[in-house]
Amino acid sequence: MTPGRIIFLNGTSSSGKSSIARELLDVLDDGVFFHLAVDGFNAMRTKRALDEEELDTALRRTRMGFHRSVAAMAEVGNDVIVDHVLSEPWRLLDCLSVLRPEDVLFVGVHCPPEELTRRERARGDRPVGLAAHQYDLVHRHGDYDLECDTGTETPRECAERIKEFLPHRPRRTAFARLRDRLLAGGAATA
């Protein structure tokens, strides 16, 4: 069985990842793609109030389960669009350890801070300042196969660029380079 392709969108909250993913579902015409968003997994969690430690534990397990769900979908041949915020180093390390690097097209989704703040206020479902907090964290690894900026391009334009790039993705992907650099010598994912 041929593993599925993974288009992995990484950016801050409100950067446009979900909008790009919806456009990709519309423009990609060479397979059956599924949009898996970390927010969707968070929404499945119980609604009862959790103390800070309990919430942190639940969120970590949720994200680890999300990563493994993406890997399982791709392993059986499904093409997947991942919508994620790699704002903690362990998240990227865990993804690098469970996803086949040769199957991943790693896309950095950027947006200017002022626009992120405007979007947060307009959405009303995120704390204002969340994206600003994540801004320097999500891209600190410094390596992508492709990058787009939703401050200068529409989600549709980003999706079209990704579609055009997908068949020409590098043989040695950003995930492969990052895995070699960050997991060399068996570095822990914790």
Active-site positions?
Answer: 39
CA-to-CA distance for 149 and 107, rounded, in angstroms? 11
Strands 6-10 and 104-110, how do they pair? parallel
CA-to-CA distance for 175 and 5, rounded, in angstroms? 13
Cβ contacts of residue 186 below 8 Å, gap of 6+? none
| CA distance readout (Å), 94 to 31, 66, 88, 161 | 27, 10, 10, 27
| CA distance readout (Å), 108 to 31, 72, 140, 147, 158 | 22, 23, 11, 5, 11
